[in-house]
Chain A
Amino acid sequence: MYDIKETYRAHSIEEALALLEGHPGAVLVNGGTDVMIRMKEGKLTDAVLISIMDVPEIIGISLRENGDIAIGAGTCFQDIYHNEVIRGAVPALAHAANQVGSPQIRHVATIGGNLCNGAVSADSVPILLAMNAELELAGAQGTRRVALTQFHTGPGKTVLQKGRELLTTIVIPKEEYAGRYGSYIKFGQRNAMEIATLGAAVCLKLQANKTRLEDIRIAFSVAGPTPLRCAKTEAALKGMALTGDMVKALRQGVIQEVQPRDSWRASKQLRLQLVKELGERALRQAAEEAGGTIHD
């Protein structure tokens, strides 16, 4: 038996917010694949659970009139992986969605849960960070929009006001995906049912002749207290020709901007090596996706 005091099911965003307000300390739950484990481990006790799996407004993927991609927070990873809009416009996100847990987990686990848990290892986060995704948070006062780069504040911590707000939508603005190419590389001890030891994502845009970087974003998971971007390295690489010097600049830059730690999963030393190596591989993969050739 799980350590549960009471369970509720919300059928709309409004009802979920009302239930949250009426039950201080209650926890929102969708697929439950993380929340249930927290109860198993005794980290969540005497739980009041509000299920949002029946809230239709937060399920599904759509293309808005302005071309932005809107992913409902309650969309499961399996549906993201198979979605035509995602596969066409942001294939690296489809790939990342398929790295989560196992098929059984991906059938119920949602992208919103992956974000709101605030885990530094979340598979969906690096590529979304690299794509400047934005989040829509619904509260009693209406909806506010937060850049994903501002969302995580510490391990397991986000700016989401737990008990008062609900993540409804992940938005990838059109200008953030059109003409841009991305990649996500996960390193783990095994290929399935694995928490990332380190994750690297790159999203880039090449200049028209495809020989120089017009823009680049680099993001890592498990390389600091939150998933993070490497802004200085990004600025340094902008405009560089696709050469071995560019790759070297990435390897030397990113290492200055991460703060990995020792954990039972991997040493700090290994993670620093992975940051350089996976950063380079993610860069090469994204450049290839974009149709560019790196001259070493």
Chain B
Amino acid sequence: MIKTIHLTVNGRAVELGVDQRESLTDTLRNRLGLTSVKKGCEAGECGACTVLLDGKSVNSCIYLSVWADGHSILTVEGLTKENGELHPIQQAFVEEAAIQCGFCTPGLVMTGVEIANSGKTYTREELRELISGHLCRCTGYENILNALERVVGRKENGTL
């Protein structure tokens, strides 16, 4: 059955008719064309479909679109400024070559944005834990952690 939902997607209010059986991943990709949201495991394990729901990272593949009714969603498409400038997390991923095949990247960037939005800094070990909901089969995570450290890093002794 089709249900009407209201969302704020990347800052824009949208009214959508969605099938109540569909995942938020499918709605964002197929109805709104936001293909940065990747379909990986589709079981909440790999993190490729991660979006921010009211500022919190969630696996959109195991979240029904009807549950998101009334809420706010941010995807990678909503990060870039009008002048084309990248978000600091995206820029850091570029500078540290934290991308190989790129499939895990949008999800990891969104978790990175969530971490940056916390306004705090983190040790490498803490960052490892914070990205533990993402699988990357190319990089070995080292460059991803290097990129995150550029923006939100903190040394063990508290200095940057």
Given contacts A40-B43, A193-B45, is CB(A33)–CB(B57) below 8 Å?
A: no
B interface residue numbers (CB < 8 A to A): 1, 3, 19-23, 26, 42-45, 47, 50, 53, 56-59, 62-64, 66-67, 111, 129-130, 132-134
> Please, how many angstroms separate the alpha-carbon atoms of A36 and B26 in the complex?
15
Interface of B is mostly: mixed
Contact B1 A107 (CB under 8 A): no
Asked whether, in the complex, the Cβ of A33 is within 8 Å of the Cβ of B45, the reply is: no
Q: Is B133 touching A6 in the complex (CB atoms < 8 A)?
A: no
Inter-chain contact B19/A37, CB cutoff 8 Å: no
Chain A contact-residue range equals 20 to 34
Given B42, B111, B129, B133, which contacts A105 in the complex, CB threshold below 8 Å? Answer: B133
Task: Report A70 CB to chain B, min CB distance, Å.
Answer: 24
Shortest CB–CB separation between residue A123 and chain B, in angstroms? 14
Contacts of B19 in A (CB 8 A): 1
CA distance A103 to B129 in the complex (A): 8
| Residue A108 at the chain B interface, CB threshold 8 Å | yes
What are 30 pairs between A and B in contact, CB < 8 Å? Answer: A1-B19, A1-B26, A2-B21, A2-B22, A2-B64, A3-B21, A7-B20, A7-B64, A9-B67, A32-B62, A32-B64, A33-B62, A36-B44, A37-B62, A40-B42, A40-B43, A40-B62, A101-B44, A102-B132, A103-B57, A103-B129, A103-B130, A104-B44, A104-B58, A104-B59, A107-B56, A192-B129, A192-B133, A193-B45, A193-B132
Give the distance in Å from the alpha carbon of A85 to the alpha carbon of B66 in the complex. 33
* A101 touching B133, Cβ below 8 Å: yes
Per the bound structure, the CA–CA distance linking A191 and B111 in Å amounts to 18
For the complex, what is the distance from the CA of A284 to the CA of B66, rounded to whole Å?
Answer: 47
Bound: A3/B23 CA distance, A: 11
Measured between beta carbons, the chain B residues less than 8 angstroms from A32 are 62-64, 67
A7-B20, A32-B63, A104-B58 given; 6 more Cβ-contact pairs under 8 Å: A1-B19, A3-B21, A33-B62, A36-B63, A37-B44, A103-B130
**What is the distance, in angstroms, from B15's C-beta to the closest C-beta of chain A?**
18
List chain B residues, Cβ under 8 A from A9. 66-67
